[in-house]
Amino acid sequence: MSESNVSKLTVEELSKTPLKDLLDLQAKLTRAIDDRKEKERTELLDKFKTLASESGFSLSELLAEKPVKKAPATVKYRNPANKDEAWTGKGRKPKWLVDLLGTGKKLEEFEV
C-alpha cells in the first residue's frame, strides 16, 4: 500500500475488513513504525555526530552533564586563636567553637 492509500482509508472501510486482515495490518504497521523510528533515529544521530565533529567536539562531550558548581559557603564565625578554623553557621558547631562556648563566651564574639 502506498502512503496515500493508507491515509485515505476510512473507519467505515476498515470496519468492513475481516479481523484477521486488520490484525495483520496492525502487525505490519507496528513493524513499519519501529523500522522508520530506528532509521530516523540513526539519521539524526549521524547528523548530530557530524555537527559535533565539525565544531571540534565528540557527541558524548556535548551530551555529558556538567556538575553544578556551588559557591563556597560564606564563613560567619572564626576561631580567634587559629584563623584557619572557621564555621559557616550551618551544620554542627565545630569542636573549637563548642569548647569556647563552654567557657562562657558568646557566639557573637566569633562573628567575622
47 pLDDT exceeds 70? yes
The overall average pLDDT reported for the chain is 90
Per-residue pLDDT, 2: 52
Among the listed residues 112, 68, 73, the one whose alpha carbon sits nearest the alpha carbon of residue 91: 73
CA-to-CA separations, 89 to 31, 44, 102, 105, in angstroms, rounded: 61, 51, 17, 16
Residue spans per domain, the chain: 17-63, 77-110
CA-to-CA separations, 65 to 61, 69, 98, in angstroms, rounded: 9, 12, 40
Per-residue pLDDT, 4: 60
Per-residue pLDDT, 71: 86
pTM for the predicted model, two decimal places: 0.48
The mean pLDDT value for 5-28 works out to 88
The mean pLDDT value for 43-49 works out to 95
Given pLDDT bands bounded at 50, 70 and 90, which one contains residue 8?
confident
The pLDDT tens digits for 60-99 are 888 888 888 888 889 999 999 899 999 999 999 999 999 9
